Structure formats: C-alpha cells, structure tokens
Amino acid sequence: MSILVVGSVAFDTIATPSGRVTDILGGAATYFALAASYFTNVRVVAVVGDDFGSEHEAVLTRRGVDTRGIERTKGRTFRWGGQYLDNLNEAKTDFTELNVFEQFKPRIPKEYLDTQFLFLANIHPTLQADVRGEMDGVRLTGGDTMNYWITHTPKELAQTLKTVNVLLINDTETKMLAGEKNLPRAAQKVLAMGPKALVVKHGEYGATIFFREGAFGVGSRPFRAPALPIDEVKDPTGAGDSFAGGFMGFLASQEEISREVLKRALFYGGVMGSFAVERFGTERLQNLTREEIDARFQIFCELTHLG
Amino acid sequence: MSILVVGSVAFDTIATPSGRVTDILGGAATYFALAASYFTNVRVVAVVGDDFGSEHEAVLTRRGVDTRGIERTKGRTFRWGGQYLDNLNEAKTDFTELNVFEQFKPRIPKEYLDTQFLFLANIHPTLQADVRGEMDGVRLTGGDTMNYWITHTPKELAQTLKTVNVLLINDTETKMLAGEKNLPRAAQKVLAMGPKALVVKHGEYGATIFFREGAFGVGSRPFRAPALPIDEVKDPTGAGDSFAGGFMGFLASQEEISREVLKRALFYGGVMGSFAVERFGTERLQNLTREEIDARFQIFCELTHLG
C-alpha cells in the first residue's frame, strides 16, 4: 500500500540543552515521510524554494520516498527557529519565515491519485479539505491541526474534520477544539465532529486513542500507549509528526484496519517518536532498520504489559 | 499480612466543579487505610481531636481497619480547605489548620510492632525516621513526601530516604528532590538516595515505577501503568494516597515481592486512585467490593495491553 502526506518541508534552527543547529532539514511532512517509510511507500506533496538542494531531497529518496509531489518555486524554503532551553516539552518559537509556504497550494500529481492512505499534516484547513476532495478514492484519511486554526478558522476546520477519519492532536488542542476541560468528554465532542477515532498525544506520557461508538469494532473503550522514558531528549522537534508517521505508516501496511491494528499503530507511533528525539532533526529517522524498530516495539510492550 | 500507615487524619473542606463539601473525613492515612483495606489488614497511627466522633472512626472500623493507634487529644482535628475550580489536576489551598496535628508524635502501640509492611505518609521526615526506627522488623517500607520537606528539611529527608524501600511521589517532587529536569535521570538520582524502587505518579497519565539496578529482579527497566480516562472527576482529593493504599495493600497481600508483583501493584494503585476520584472524599472507597476492584483491574489491562 502507499500513503500520501501533504504538509510542510522546512529548514529549522533549533536550540536545546544538548546543543544548537542551524537550517537543518525539517517540517512536518519530512518527519512524517521518514517515519512512515519504514512501513510503507510514501509520497509527499509540499513546496520548497530554490535553496532546497539535491542533498536535501536525497534524505527522502534514500528512504524510498517519492518526491515527485514536492514543488520547487522561486524563493526561500519555509524557515522556523525555536528553542527548548527551559522546557523540553514545549517549543518557544524564535521566528517563523513562511517564505514559499505562504502561497502553498497543494498540487497532487496524477500518479498520486490512486494512493490509499492520506495524511493531512498541519496546514490551513481549507487546503486540507481541497486535497481530501481530490483524493476521493482514499481508504483512510488521517489529519493534524493546531491551536491557530482552531482559533482563527473554526468553520473551515469543522468542514475538514467531517472528512478526516483519524485525527491526531495533543491534549491542549483537543480541549481547545471541544471547548471542554475534561479530556474524555472533550474527546467525545471531537469525535462528534467527524473523526471515527481521535489520537490524543500526551508528549512524554504517551498517547490515547478514543473511538467513536462502534467505529473499527465493538464498543467505545479508549486505549493508551506509553512513551519511553528517555534519559536524554536531544531535540523534541518533529516528535509528534514522527509519531503520526509511525502510526499512519503502520496502518497503511495492514490489510484491514481493525481496532487491534489501531492499537498496535499507537505503539508504533510512540516508537517512532521515541527515536526522533534521540538526535537533532531527522538524523535518527534517516538510518533506522525495521529490526531496531521492532525491538523497540517490544520494549514498549514490556513497559506496560503485565506478565 | 498486615500494613501500618502513619500519617494524617483530617477534616477537609473542598470545592470542585461538581460541588462543595465541608469538614468531611479525609487525610492521607484515611484514604490510604481505606484503599489498602481491600487487600490486607490495616493498622493506623495518627492523631485526632475531640471533634473526631464514633461515626468517623466507624468509617475505618467498618472496613476492618485497626484504629487502636489513633491517638485522641484535646483540641480540634487537622483541617484543610482547598479547591479545584480552575484545574482538577492541582489543588489551590484555601486554608490549613494543623490543630492537634502540629504536635503529632507518632506512638506505635505494642501490638503493632510485628507489622510486616509500613507506609510513612507525608509527615515531617524526622517523624518518619523515628517510626521506621521503631519498626525494625518490617519487610518493606513505603514512603511519601512533599515539596515543603524537600525544600525545608533536605538533610532530615535524606536520612529518612535511606530507610525507605519504595518511595511514591509525583513528577514535580521527583525533579525537585533530584535537582534534575529529565525524569528518568531524576529517578536514578532519587534511587541513589536509598529507595530500591521509585513510583512516580503522573496524575491523569498514570504512574511509572523505576527500579534500582538489580533490585527486586534483573535489570533496571522502568514500567508504566495507565490511569483510567474518567468522564467526571468529582473530587481529586486523596487520589495519590488511595493510589499508595492500593499499591502497598496489594504488596502486603503477596508472599513474595518480585518485580512482576510490583508491576501489578502499580496497576492496583491506579485502580484505587480511579475509584477515589469518582465521589467526594472517601465515599467511593467505603463501599467497594474486591470483585469491583478486580473488574476495574481488568479494564486497566485492556486499556494498555495489545491482544
């Protein structure tokens, strides 16, 4: 199977207690694509400037990622600068230069239209909806969003959510989107907006998947996957996108999307997030093996499973 | 087997989004004793004033708790007032009246000296150390502490920690005690202070147990238990003490304290904490059955275990 991710490719400048890096390859679509590439064929739709060189593209193509959907335009690639010096759980943004990303209008190559799985990374909800509309044959659509769209484009976001099957957001976003402080109640409200399943990412505490009653199986009991306690988080950037890549990539590798498969996907999401933070940027995601991933999956099981 | 808890008995005045209550029976020792009473014989050492009536004592004795160690003195019982109106995860203290608790000097009845398990609830570390010194035949000692003692009595606390086998504290306390922001590294520093295992309580995200290398079994891999997503948290007061009661009570019911038993205890801790918050004060903990507890234990397993 294959998965298409639509989102940002960026150059990041990051400071953490472990060090500083300047203009390294990042962006939600990049982290997602690399993480998903260990499970399935990945296609990317994004936009970059003329500073995006062949060495940057090679990071993706070396992992077998199909980059035909990455549009090159005149100008500079999206740049983000942020730091985690005081708190590894939350980035403090130093600067955002949208550059070519400001006019991003996703164009889906004809060859991508048969893709079975779709992930709408965090971009304007109207762009998400447009892409979803073009990809009318997809089996399953995953999506992300953020506080900015929840606050500034609630109507557009509501339209998009009707077409997203699995939404992956964090605790704060879930509560903000629902206008409800209690997480399980907020989750039910979000599920009523469209998604059949909601993955709430808890950062260092793992993630919970909530199901709409009867979706993907019987009942509506949530399920929790842990995060790995990590001695040294070098760089938390991209952890959530890597989580989404592992989660969606694993789904795209499966014949059937049952509740049990979604639970395993939640564990694989945690696994890919845990690798991502071990090095700056996408470094760790570039050189993994499926064996290393499955060994860590086993550690995640041992972390929460009684004998 | 039996367990002795030394700590506070109090009257609490609590406001939460679900309502308000005045002068209801609370205190760490009360929550702990009730939670542990479903697993083992519980003995209590505490102090109360002459406003502590037979109806209050009956809450404990109805659950078979041995109250001979509860000392009655002239004056009013410890009173605490707090609210969770803005944030169910953190109490805002309205008032603290130590009353008879201010002069609390734990006296262990002779009949208690053969108790095999001991829990030192959150009191002055010197009092904890005194109790631990008297109970020199115990098999396993659990303990709690708080930011106040970490800041104001670090030397006394360091002495106490040398004699505590399993310390149960939260994320903030762990990081404060270790002077280290990264949780796994902070946990290792705390374990170096004495405890063979450290249970870090994450509130609505469950708990993690960290082991000193080789303690209770091979290796030093941590283990995580979830918390139950709860639609309506009526009153979070006592959740941590109920967790400790379930955890320690289950341990005291086991022949051997292996790593596997400690993992199950972590799940039982979460189970008892989840019951506690469903009603105001100790109400829910007063009328449970072991069947209800084991049914919820099963739900906790299904919440994190892959099929």
DSSP B182-195: SHHHHHHHHHTTS-
Q: Which two tokens stand for residue A85?
A: 């010096």
Answer whether residue A307 shows pLDDT above 90. Answer: no
On whether any CB of chain A is under 8 Å from the CB of B231, the answer is: yes
From the CA of A225, how many Å to the nearest CA of chain B? Answer: 6
Give the model's pLDDT for residue A14: 98
B135-144 residue pLDDT tens? 999 999 999 9
Task: Provide mean pLDDT across the span B16-24.
Answer: 96
How confident is the prediction for chain A on average, in pLDDT?
Answer: 96
A90-145 residue pLDDT tens? 899 999 999 999 999 999 999 999 999 999 999 999 999 999 999 999 999 999 99
B62-103 residue pLDDT tens? 999 999 999 999 999 999 999 999 888 889 999 999 999 999
B22-73 residue pLDDT tens? 999 999 999 999 999 999 999 999 999 999 999 999 999 999 999 999 999 9
Give the model's pLDDT for residue B281: 98
- Cβ <8 Å between A221 and B88: no
From the CA of A16, how many Å to the nearest CA of chain B? Answer: 13
CA dist., res. A31 & res. A172, Å (int): 22
Answer whether residue A89 shows pLDDT above 90. Answer: no
Q: How many CB pairs under 8 A join A and B?
A: 85
Answer whether residue A39 shows pLDDT above 90. Answer: yes
Chain A: residue whose CA lies nearest to B223: A303
Confidence of residue B232 (pLDDT cuts 50, 70, 90): confident
Answer whether residue B253 shows pLDDT above 90. Answer: yes
CA dist., res. A200 & res. B16, Å (int): 25
- Cβ <8 Å between A206 and B224: yes
DSSP chain B: -EEEEE---EEEEEEETTEEEEEEEE-HHHHHHHHHTTTSEEEEEEEE-TT--HHHHHHHHTTT-B-TTEEE-SS---EEEEE-SS-TTS-EEEEEE-GGGGG------GGGTT-SEEEE-SS-HHHHHHHHHH-TT-SEEEE---HHHHHH-HHHHHHHHTT-SEEEEEHHHHHHHHT-SSHHHHHHHHHTTS-SEEEEE-GGG-EEEEE-TTTTSSS---EEE-----S--S--TTHHHHHHHHHHHHHHT-SS--HHHHHHHHHHHHHHHHHHTTSSTTHHHHS--HHHHHHHHHHHHHHH---
A14 backbone dihedrals φ, ψ, rounded to 5°: -130, 135
A164-218 residue pLDDT tens? 999 999 999 999 999 999 999 999 999 999 999 999 999 999 999 999 999 998 8
Task: Provide mean pLDDT across the span B255-264.
Answer: 96
Q: Which residue has the tokens 């109790």?
A: B131
Give the model's pLDDT for residue A220: 82
Give the model's pLDDT for residue A87: 85
Q: A224 by DSSP, 3-state: which?
A: strand
B287-307 residue pLDDT tens? 999 999 999 999 999 999 998
The letter for the amino acid at A131 is: V
Q: Which residue has the tokens 């509506």?
A: A220
User: In chain A, pLDDT over 70 holds for what percent of residues?
Assistant: 100
- Cβ <8 Å between B229 and A183: yes
Q: Is residue A249 exposed (0-12), middle (13-18) or buried (19+ Cβ within 10 Å)?
A: buried
Picking from B187, B224, B299, the nearest residue to A304 by CB comes out as B224
A100, B132, B169, B247, B251 from B42: Cα distances, Å: 68, 17, 21, 13, 13
Task: Provide mean pLDDT across the span B4-15.
Answer: 98
B103-130 residue pLDDT tens? 999 999 999 999 999 999 999 999 999 9
Confidence of residue A285 (pLDDT cuts 50, 70, 90): very high
Give the model's pLDDT for residue A48: 98
On whether any CB of chain A is under 8 Å from the CB of B252, the answer is: no
ipTM rounded to 2 decimals: 0.91
On whether any CB of chain B is under 8 Å from the CB of A236, the answer is: no
Burial B28-64 (b: 16+ CB within 10 A, else e): bbbbbbbbbbbbbbbbbbbbbbeebeeebbebbeebe
Q: Which two tokens stand for residue A192?
A: 């009523």
Answer whether residue A224 shows pLDDT above 90. Answer: yes
How confident is the prediction for chain B on average, in pLDDT?
Answer: 96
Chain B residues lying within 8 Å of A305, measured CB to CB: 304-306
pTM above 0.80, yes or no: yes
From the CA of A128, how many Å to the nearest CA of chain B? Answer: 30
Answer whether residue A156 shows pLDDT above 90. Answer: yes
Residues of A numbered 33-52 whose beta carbons fall under 8 angstroms of chain B's beta carbons: which are they? Answer: none
